[in-house]
Amino acid sequence: MGKHCYIVYFTLAFVILAEAARPGDEVEMPPPNSTRRDLQGCSATNVIDKCWRCKADWADNRQALADCAAGFAKGTTGGKGGDVYTVTSPADDDAANPKEGTLRFGVTQNRPLWIIFEKDMVITLNQELVVAGDKTIDGRGAKVEITGGGLTLMDVNNVIIHGLNVHDVKVLPGGMIKNSDGPAGLRQASDGDCITVSGAKKVWIDHCSFSKAFDGLLDVTLGSSFVTVSNCKFTKHEKVMLLGADDGHHDDKNMQVTVAFNMFTDGCDQRMPRCRFGFFQVVNNNYDGWGTYAIGGSSAPTILSQGNKFKAPDDANKKNVLVRADAPEAESMKWNWRTEKDVLENGAIFLASGTDPTLTPEQQGCMIQAEPGESVVELTNAAGVLTCSAGQPC
């Protein structure tokens, strides 16, 4: 895993202290659980948002967002250090030869880019959007909707996706689709996911809204790792989030994913997330009911549920937060599924199993410190796409 978590943590701490301290001033650090507020009344409630949301100059310093990645995606820089590319057109007429000014043209360039949007737009994708590495898609300052097709991050590293509303995604037939600034390649039909992360490393998805796809809202599979999904809002879907392709893909044993500060509500049925093999921190999320279950898995994943709020549905037969699948009970109850600081409401039941895992130093450096579950409503009150205007805090 390397030491990227430690490096970013200490760098960020130094920058915060340096900005706060001036000659002759006494620096008073806020308590860890405090809400950050600025003079314009902005409030940021969780550790990621406190890093950037209350800064009125965010539009002049967009790439500072990369310093705020937390969890297992800590150290992900996306397009930081690269040029700013502005999407000026919502068109998606030719997936094999996209025109400059479109989102597809920007995401397929073989260089770091920080991608922003000139204006509000609805982008109806005619094919899946294949994103190259070292990219940030930054929807702040515009209302950006993506529909029709989803985003695919396949065998790439270092991607940040922020501030997109992705919805009503369907299966698309495939064909010649550009995935770099070289020639287009032949791709098979898409699965119909809002976002597919396949064989990718260092991916941060933050403040997005997802709803209504053919397959899943978000899949992380096939050896992907060092992923954080944070501050997102998931609605109107059955199978929400899949972490691990299937029980035969043993390369997912090294998967490490953080699911933090998200809101699951309004028709989410199951897989919030469904995990296989890997190591998962599910921290300070708001589960406003479910249909079948909230969190599930198979193939002996380690799941640390910390500081979540689980509000069970009224149906007396659906009070269980968890579902263990594809193994006898004698085996599945040995899996390390732990609960700490969680709040169980409306009769919700969390049946823990296994023991507290021993974390490596690298894992410890990437864990988000859980707040008590009683704080979740406040911590997730801005989940989903934000409304941001230049010159004002978001």
Return the biggest CA–CA distance within the chain.
65
Helix (H, G, I), strand (E, B), or coil: what is residue 30?
Answer: coil
C-alpha–C-alpha distance, residues 328 and 331, integer Å: 5
Phi-psi region of 212 (alpha: psi -120 to 50; beta: other; left: phi over 0): left
- DSSP H or E segment with residue 286: strand 286-288
Question: If we measure between CA atoms, which residue out of 258, 260, 272 comes closest to residue 366?
Answer: 258
Catalytic residue among 62, 104, 271, 338: 271
Say if residues 187 and 154 touch (Cβ distance below 8 Å): no
Say if residues 233 and 263 touch (Cβ distance below 8 Å): yes
Residue 157 amino acid letter: N
- DSSP H or E segment with residue 306: strand 302-306
Known catalytic residue at 271: yes
Residue 88 amino acid letter: T
C-alpha–C-alpha distance, residues 230 and 232, integer Å: 5
Q: Token digits for 105?
A: 């043209």
Say if residues 162 and 207 touch (Cβ distance below 8 Å): yes
Task: Please report, for residues 34, 95, 140, 286, the alpha-carbon distance to residue 199 in angstroms, rounded to integers and kept in the order given.
Answer: 37, 22, 27, 28
C-alpha–C-alpha distance, residues 389 and 378, integer Å: 22
List active site positions.
271
